Amino acid sequence: MKPGPAPEADERALVATAATVVGRLPVDDGNTLDLAGDTAAPPDGPAPEAVEERAAFPLFAMPPLPPVAPPDRFARSAPVSPGTGTTPPDALDHRARVRARFARLGAEGFDDVELLELALFRSIARRDTKPVAKALLKRFGSLGAVLAAPPALLREIDGVGEVVAFDLGVLNAIAKAAARAELPKKESLLGSWDRVLAHVRTTLAHETREQFRVLFLNKKNALIADEVQQRGTIDHTPVYPREIVRRALELSASALILVHNHPSGDPSPSTADIEMTHRIVEIARGLEISVHDHLIIGRNGYVSLKSEGLM
């Protein structure tokens, strides 16, 4: 049996293996391991080139990094060309130009595609967002419909993932909250009918399922509460007139404005809509609660049953 290698030999082998990461490495006996050729320098001293290289790259040292210029605050998230992994030269400035134009002019001069493209800059870091914006508008028909679309349907569009679907949902919630905030809190809603219409249209026009809402008003017709009473299917919502009136009594409401949507887009009232409105009016009248109107909201407009003489 031959004796095994000395411990010192094992250590030198390990050192030689580790040194492949850092180039030349000095060892205890003064020799320099040349990892490129896997040979040791002669005992009388390392070759001149070895000395130079060791001086330039000492053990575990890194060459200095080049200075980085501060980024343009409008030039983040430039898209990358598909298949190349590089940013197209014209794309480097495109987002900066769009952001600068919006910062200077606001929404004036921006069409729906450009506004959606701009909004997607934050959600899509390294891709041209204009094709995604165009595809979304083509699929859903309008900017409001894009914002209100269910996440599952949004993700069917190429380039739209979880982050984009989530961020669009946040924008939709902000738009609804802004419209709701415009409703007067202590004044009569009947004197601010345009704001009432703006609120209910923003809230319901692009909903994909029927939703029945009631605006509960006090004796001065100021808003007490805006509540969803029922959510239904694409073409039907069960409505219970006695439950609506019971809720009005709980809130001490003196008047109601009924609102529901037609996901088909056509706000024309059905026979069932008219009959249901008459039942609510009849029950509410017995308790001295007025029903000012029933608004039906669609993507293509709205219908007031009171204005149409249907209640």
Give the total number of structural domains in the chain: 3
Answer yes or no: do 204 and 285 share one domain. Answer: yes
Shared-domain flag, residues 174 and 136: yes
Two tokens at 199? 């609120």
Same domain (yes/no): 197, 161:
no
State which residues form the domain around 162. Answer: 89-178
225-272 pLDDT, tens per residue? 999 998 878 777 888 999 999 999 999 999 999 999 999 889 999 999
Q: pLDDT tens digit string along 154-192?
A: 999 999 999 999 999 999 999 888 888 887 777 778 788
As a whole number of angstroms, the distance between CA 296 and CA 301 comes to 9
Query: What pLDDT was estimated at residue 42?
Result: 52
CATH number of the domain enclosing 265: 3.40.140.10
* Alpha-helix runs per DSSP H in 64-192: 89-105, 112-120, 130-140, 143-148, 151-154, 162-181
Report the pLDDT value the prediction gives residue 55, as an integer from 0 to 100.
Answer: 46
- Whole-prediction pTM value? 0.58
Strands 25-26 and 32-34: antiparallel
Strand partners, 25: 33
Q: Is residue 62 part of a domain?
A: no
Answer whether 168's CB lies under 8 Å from 154's CB: yes
- Is there a single domain that holds both residue 195 and residue 174? no
Q: Please enumerate in sequence order all residues whose Cβ is within 8 A of that of 285, keeping only pairs 6 or more positions apart, or say none.
A: none
Q: Would you call 25 helix, strand, or coil by DSSP?
A: strand
Domain assignment of residue 104, yes or no: yes
